[in-house]
């Protein structure tokens, strides 16, 4: 078999983002993912396209600016799976800084009487920078909120008199990965899931890549192994390097919805950390995250009972009605693969990504760290690093190209939903809303002109039909019920165990 240009290890947001970008430049690409797409970190994030307000306190201006600029580019390219969100930050004078951030050190020198507290003027300054660093055009700016008069104050304890409200964006992280893989495939890439890369060796001008599904030869290797990046470079590809990662676990809990409006909360703790409480899947609230050094296998991180208690107690410090562990309906946990810069505390390790190129023979590019928010820019930078090896490759193109189903204006979601219902009157409002949010304009070919629900085949519950499952198997690499109910959708929150088992039997039978 002929050699391909780029072989990519890892089907998270970074691997699939690089695959899509490279395929669109005319390069031949193979991507291998050992499990399902987005099975690791990229489905376990807080799901925000955000600049990272708190990174300003670490003076990470470059990272924050790049991410802020990127929010609106991404929002326009995927108006179905991402949307603007307002964040309410209640103020209390007792709020403290995280450990020893550069800002807290500076402040304790010039204003020692603050004793580690985070003053209101500093939050206003941070939000001013946040509003203005990133060339905002679509998202509204910061405003001050009187919590006695605004609906955002209703679920909060009376001790909070005012809050600041600022903008970021929500994104369906696992669908982002799936749609990048789908688009890469449309542009000619080969996407292999459930295919582990066992070994890669340099052979003359090429990499010889052994996978569970056979051997490939490639001109360049991209290691987007996320939490496994260090293992892949050292043990799988046998490349000596001093670079490493630090694994930091972050966990979330999901509870029945705690309040009725559509804004999220940004809570600051007296320990200096912050958490979010975010409206989730219509009927739920998502609370997270924790931030702990992770020892052991990155494959199956879990939200420990202690982490659940921590998140409940943190949120209960803000909400009038305490949040308790028996309310938790689901938890998830991921491991941040942060570039090891030797920083001391877990939460102060840099969030910048590092692209490391070893060209002592055919090149291998390893991706360390990164955020969902910067995946597209990361892919562009990765291809810039590989450009000398592929002089005929095309230039940057992804900033202006919608993801599959995202070819409509970002402010037309409601109109699209109404059109879908008008043309398929059997859809309930919630069903149509879910299809538009998941598939955008691809909802039409998915429904394929169906005139009634029966035309969509077997009903698996919670509006999931055979037509949708077949679409996901054919176009989005779904192979098991778990792929469908926890990554291509979050219908796992609504389906019973029996319904999920029936779905799995159906999918195994149609393979
Ligand atoms: C708790 C938490 C919250 C976060 N919140 C946000 C947020 O709100 N916004 C934001 O922008 N970012 C956020 N992030 C960061 C973001 O989620 C990650 O930076 C990003 O998902 C990393 O993607 P990745 O593709 O590098 O890694 P992964 O998604 O982990 O993908 C790596 C893939 O490589 C595969 N792999 C490894 N070895 C092999 C092999 N030998 N063969 C084949 N496949 C292999 C793995 O199976 C895995 O699927 C958060 C992270 C965490 C943990």
Q: Whose CA is nearest to atom 27 of ligand 1?
A: 226
**pLDDT attached to residue 257:** 98
> Which atom of ligand 1 is closest in space to residue 14's alpha carbon?
25
Band (pLDDT 50/70/90 cuts) for residue 377 is very high
Dist. CA 336 → ligand 1 center (Å): 7
Q: Whose CA is nearest to atom 16 of ligand 1?
A: 371
Q: Whose CA is nearest to atom 47 of ligand 1?
A: 34
pLDDT single digits (tens) 172-227: 999 999 999 999 999 999 999 999 999 999 999 999 999 999 999 999 999 999 99
**pLDDT attached to residue 59:** 73
CA distance 138 to 135: 10
**pLDDT attached to residue 93:** 78
> Which atom of ligand 1 is closest in space to residue 37's alpha carbon?
49
Q: Is 3.50.50.60 the CATH classification of the domain at 4-42+174-244+350-400? A: yes
CA distance 310 to 324: 10
pLDDT single digits (tens) 35-51: 999 999 999 999 999 98
Give the domain 77-169+246-342 fold. D-Amino Acid Oxidase; Chain A, domain 2 (3.30.9)
**pLDDT attached to residue 200:** 98
Mean pLDDT of 301-306: 96
pLDDT single digits (tens) 226-242: 999 999 999 999 999 88
Across the chain, mean pLDDT equals 93
Dist. CA 153 → ligand 1 center (Å): 35
Q: Whose CA is nearest to atom 33 of ligand 1?
A: 10
**pLDDT attached to residue 109:** 62
Strand 330-339 relative to strand 245-256, pairing = antiparallel
Dist. CA 335 → ligand 1 center (Å): 8
pLDDT single digits (tens) 125-176: 899 999 999 889 999 999 999 999 999 999 999 999 999 999 999 999 999 9
Instruction: Tell me which of 228, 276, 298, 477 to substitute to probe ligand 1's pocket, judged by most ligand atoms within 8 Å of the beta carbon.
Output: 228
Band (pLDDT 50/70/90 cuts) for residue 244 is confident
Residue with tokens 């996407």: 191
Q: What is the pTM of this model?
A: 0.95
> Which atom of ligand 1 is closest in space to residue 227's alpha carbon?
30
**pLDDT attached to residue 28:** 98
Instruction: Tell me which of 45, 53, 346, 354 to substitute to probe ligand 1's pocket, judged by most ligand atoms within 8 Å of the beta carbon.
Output: 45
HEC-encoded secondary structure of 7-69: EEECCCHHHHHHHHHHHHCCCCEEEECCCCCCCCHHHCCCCEECCCHHHHHHCCHHHHHHHHH
pLDDT single digits (tens) 382-434: 999 999 999 999 999 999 999 999 999 999 999 999 999 999 999 999 999 99
End-to-end, the C-alpha distance of the chain in Å comes to 26
Question: Could you tell me which of 294, 204, 198, 167 has the C-alpha nearest to residue 3?
Answer: 204
CA distance 40 to 235: 20
**pLDDT attached to residue 349:** 61
Q: Whose CA is nearest to atom 4 of ligand 1?
A: 45
Mean pLDDT of 282-291: 96
Q: Are 217 and 208 in contact (CB under 8 A)?
A: yes
CA distance 228 to 87: 33
pLDDT at 346 over 60: no
Question: Could you tell me which of 112, 116, 124, 121 has the C-alpha nearest to residue 95?
Answer: 116
Dist. CA 13 → ligand 1 center (Å): 7
pLDDT at 295 over 90: no
**Percent of the chain beyond pLDDT 70?**
93
Q: Whose CA is nearest to atom 38 of ligand 1?
A: 225
Q: Indicate the domain borders of the chain.
A: 4-42+174-244+350-400, 77-169+246-342, 413-510
**pLDDT attached to residue 237:** 98
Q: Whose CA is nearest to atom 18 of ligand 1?
A: 371
> Which atom of ligand 1 is closest in space to residue 67's alpha carbon?
11
Torsions phi, psi for 414 (to 5 deg): -65, -40
Domain 413-510: give its CATH code. Answer: 1.10.8.870
**Percent of the chain beyond pLDDT 90?**
82
Dist. CA 320 → ligand 1 center (Å): 35
Dist. CA 259 → ligand 1 center (Å): 30
Dist. CA 300 → ligand 1 center (Å): 13
Ligand 1-lining residues (CB < 6 angstroms): 9-15, 32-35, 39-42, 44-48, 50, 196-197, 224-228, 232, 236, 250, 289, 334-336, 367, 370-373
Q: Are 169 and 50 in contact (CB under 8 A)?
A: yes
CA distance 244 to 339: 6
pLDDT at 359 over 70: yes
> Which atom of ligand 1 is closest in space to residue 15's alpha carbon?
25
């Amino acid at each position: 078999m002929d050699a391909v240009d780029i072989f990519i290890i890892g089907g998270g947001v970074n691997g699939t983002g690089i695959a899509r970008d490279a395929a669109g430049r005319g390069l031949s690409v193979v991507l291998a993912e050992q499990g399902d797409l987005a099975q690791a970190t990229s489905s376990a994030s807080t799901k925000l396209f955000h600049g990272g307000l708190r990174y300003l306190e670490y003076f990470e201006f470059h990272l924050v600016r790049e991410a802020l600029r990127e929010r609106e580019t991404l929002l326009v390219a995927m108006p179905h799976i991402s949307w603007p969100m307002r964040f309410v930050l209640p103020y209390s004078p007792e709020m403290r800084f995280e450990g020893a951030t550069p800002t807290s050190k500076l402040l304790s020198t010039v204003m020692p009487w603050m004793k580690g507290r985070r003053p209101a003027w500093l939050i206003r300054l941070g939000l001013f920078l946040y509003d203005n660093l990133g060339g905002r055009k679509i998202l509204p700016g910061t405003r001050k909120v009187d919590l006695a008069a605004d609906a955002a104050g209703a679920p909060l304890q009376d001790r909070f008199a005012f809050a600041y409200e600022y903008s970021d964006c929500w994104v369906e992280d696992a669908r982002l990965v799936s749609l990048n893989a789908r688009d890469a495939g449309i542009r000619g890439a080969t996407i292999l899931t459930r295919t582990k890369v066992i070994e890669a060796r340099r052979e003359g001008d090429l990499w010889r890549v052994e996978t569970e599904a056979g051997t490939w030869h490639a001109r360049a290797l991209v290691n987007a192994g996320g939490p496994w990046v260090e293992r892949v470079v050292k043990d799988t590809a046998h490349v000596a390097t001093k670079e490493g990662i630090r694994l930091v676990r972050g966990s979330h809990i999901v509870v029945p919805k705690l309040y009725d409006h559509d804004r999220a909360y940004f809570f600051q703790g007296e320990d200096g950390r912050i958490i979010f409480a975010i409206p989730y899947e219509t009927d739920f609230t998502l609370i997270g995250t924790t931030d702990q050094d992770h020892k052991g296998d990155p494959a199956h991180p879990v939200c420990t009972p202690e982490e659940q208690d921590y998140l409940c107690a943190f949120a209960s410090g803000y909400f009038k009605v305490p949040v308790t562990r028996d309310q938790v309906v689901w938890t998830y946990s991921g491991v941040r693969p942060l570039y090891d810069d030797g920083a001391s505390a877990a939460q102060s390790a840099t969030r910048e990504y590092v692209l490391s190129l070893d060209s002592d023979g055919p090149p291998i590019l390893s991706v360390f760290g990164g955020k969902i928010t910067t995946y597209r820019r990361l892919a562009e930078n990765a291809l810039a690093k590989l450009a000398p090896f592929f002089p005929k490759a095309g230039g940057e193109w992804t900033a202006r190209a919608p993801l599959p189903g995202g070819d409509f204006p970002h402010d037309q979601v409601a109109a699209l939903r109404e059109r879908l219902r008008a043309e398929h009157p059997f859809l309930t409002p919630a069903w149509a809303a879910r299809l538009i949010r998941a598939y955008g304009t691809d909802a039409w070919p998915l429904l394929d002109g169906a005139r009634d629900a029966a035309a969509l085949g077997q009903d698996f519950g919670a509006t999931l039909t055979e037509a949708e499952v077949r679409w996901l198997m054919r176009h989005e690499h779904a192979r098991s019920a778990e792929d469908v109910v926890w990554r291509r959708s979050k219908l796992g929150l609504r389906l019973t165990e029996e319904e999920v088992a029936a779905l799995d039997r159906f999918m195994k039978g149609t393979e």
